[in-house]
Amino acid sequence: MAVKILWYLTTPDGPYPWEAEGRWNTDFDHLKQIAVTADRLGYYGSLLGSSPNESLAVSAALIDATKRLRFLVAQHPGEVSPAILAKWALTFDKFSDGRLLFNVVNGNDAGLATVGVHYPHDERYDFSLEYWRAFKGYYAGETEGYDGRYVKLTPRHAAAANHPLGGWHQPVQPAGIPLWGAGTSGPGVAHSVQLLDVYLSFANTPPKLGEKFAKVAAEAAKIGRTLTYGTRLQIIVRETEEEAWEHAERLLQRTSLQTARQSIERQLPPGETLETYVSADPQIQRNLDTIRAGRLPKARDLEIYPNVWLGPSLFGFNILGPAAGTYLVGSAAQVAERIREYEAHGTSAFILSGFPLIEEAHRVADLLFPLLDIDHGYELPQLAVKAKTLADDQSRDSKSLAA
């Protein structure tokens, strides 16, 4: 099994953007540079998460700057009509030669209500299934419309499908736009196994993540479906283990106690406070005690499994347990080994980020890509150079032997 490596393409950016003083003021040119970097280095795609910049606009604006990079665009059902989203996707795919992927996101009930989508958590998944099925039908060129409980689209006239003004493009991706997405609750998993191609989860240790994926795979098997699995990780990879952990320590030193306390408070079960909470896990309890005493733990105190780190990140400082900001930290050889362990537990796509995004994208591509079995459908630039050097060496060796 080979892996796919994606990079994160969302503001903010900076050396430690979870703190105001570590965050840059970025603009479209900066996003473009990240996309061009990920494209040239051979990343499979880039994740565009929810952010102040609407992902549909950002991805479309970056088609022309990139050649192979796929855009994994976060999309909540119901924000636009499924027919309009399908027309947008057909146009995007035509202009980009089929480089669109959707990340089907379903969180944030309160936020969705503010844009006009008023379903409670569980029912939203029923609506989402209809929404994405209607979307897929329109992308595939079906004209019979959609008559669901939540989504109703009147049939289109088949004769008008090719009209120079009123017609629609033909799909570029024959199997449709690949749908990636998440959902950990019962309804979230039921929705995922019926709809998704790639099931995503925030990372945990390799065995625990594998356990979660195995449960989802068992649910999918009940309805005759097979999915692939992906995760999201922060990454600090360096030539040596010492350098990687020095950088992790530096990130901790730049993080305020207040950031740590606020992040823990967001993770606590209802009714608990930082002062009252007791963890059954002695490592977590020790780290909580350190924070209560007014200090941050040392970097290695936050390593919960070899090379798996719960340090501070843009996505939270998840001292109470792995969540959106889990890291891989180590030498290239160690991180490659850990990725292979995740792979052995069923993960084949890795959406990575390290900050600043451009510098760390280079480090990962330079140090880690050559150690992994990557399949992005084309020869990676770094590996082409390496393979050429090896071939040159071999031909030189055989010439000198022959001489």
Ligand X SMILES: Cc1cc2nc3c(=O)[nH]c(=O)nc-3n(C[C@H](O)[C@H](O)[C@H](O)COP(=O)(O)O)c2cc1C
Name the residue nearer to ligand X (CB basis): 351 or 364.
351
Name the residue nearer to ligand X (CB basis): 73 or 291.
73
Cα–chain center distance at 269: 26
What is the smallest separation between the CB atom of 148 and ligand X, expressed in angstroms? Answer: 21
Q: 3-class secondary structure for 256-284?
A: CHHHHHHHHHHHCCCCCCCCCCCCCCHHH
What is the smallest separation between the CB atom of 11 and ligand X, expressed in angstroms? Answer: 13
- DSSP conformation letters of 196-243: -SEEEEE---HHHHHHHHHHHHHHHHHTT---EEEEEEEEEEESSHHH
| Strand pairing category for 228-238 and 198-202 | parallel
Dist CA 402 CA 273 (whole Å): 75
Taking residue 206's Cβ as centre, other Cβ atoms within 10 Å add up to 23
What is the smallest separation between the CB atom of 108 and ligand X, expressed in angstroms? Answer: 5
Q: Print burial letters for 277-306: b (CB count within 10 Å at least 16), e (below 16).
A: beeeeeebeebbebbeeeebbebeebbbbe
Name the residue nearer to ligand X (CB basis): 40 or 208.
208
Cβ–Cβ < 8 Å for 78, 112: yes
What is the smallest separation between the CB atom of 230 and ligand X, expressed in angstroms? Answer: 7
- DSSP conformation letters of 5-46: EEEE--S--SSSTTSGGG-----HHHHHHHHHHHHHHT-SEE
What is the smallest separation between the CB atom of 39 and ligand X, expressed in angstroms? Answer: 21
- The C-alpha angle 263, 246, 202, rounded to 5 degrees, equals 40
What is the smallest separation between the CB atom of 347 and ligand X, expressed in angstroms? Answer: 12
Burial, 231: exposed, middle or buried (Cβ in 10 Å; 0-12, 13-18, 19+)? buried
Cβ–Cβ < 8 Å for 326, 205: no
Name the residue nearer to ligand X (CB basis): 61 or 161.
61
What is the smallest separation between the CB atom of 352 and ligand X, expressed in angstroms? Answer: 11
Dist CA 279 CA 286 (whole Å): 9
Taking residue 139's Cβ as centre, other Cβ atoms within 10 Å add up to 25
Residues in contact with ligand X by CB under 6 A are 49-50, 74, 103, 105-108, 182-185, 188, 200-202, 232, 351
What is the smallest separation between the CB atom of 214 and ligand X, expressed in angstroms? Answer: 17
Name the residue nearer to ligand X (CB basis): 103 or 259.
103
What is the smallest separation between the CB atom of 65 and ligand X, expressed in angstroms? Answer: 22
| Strand pairing category for 303-305 and 308-309 | antiparallel
Name the residue nearer to ligand X (CB basis): 47 or 244.
47
| Residues sharing a CB contact under 8 Å with residue 205, sequence separation 6 or more, in sequence order | 304, 305, 308, 322
Name the residue nearer to ligand X (CB basis): 153 or 193.
193
Name the residue nearer to ligand X (CB basis): 108 or 240.
108
What is the smallest separation between the CB atom of 48 and ligand X, expressed in angstroms? Answer: 8
Name the residue nearer to ligand X (CB basis): 185 or 253.
185
Cβ–Cβ < 8 Å for 339, 328: yes
Name the residue nearer to ligand X (CB basis): 231 or 259.
231
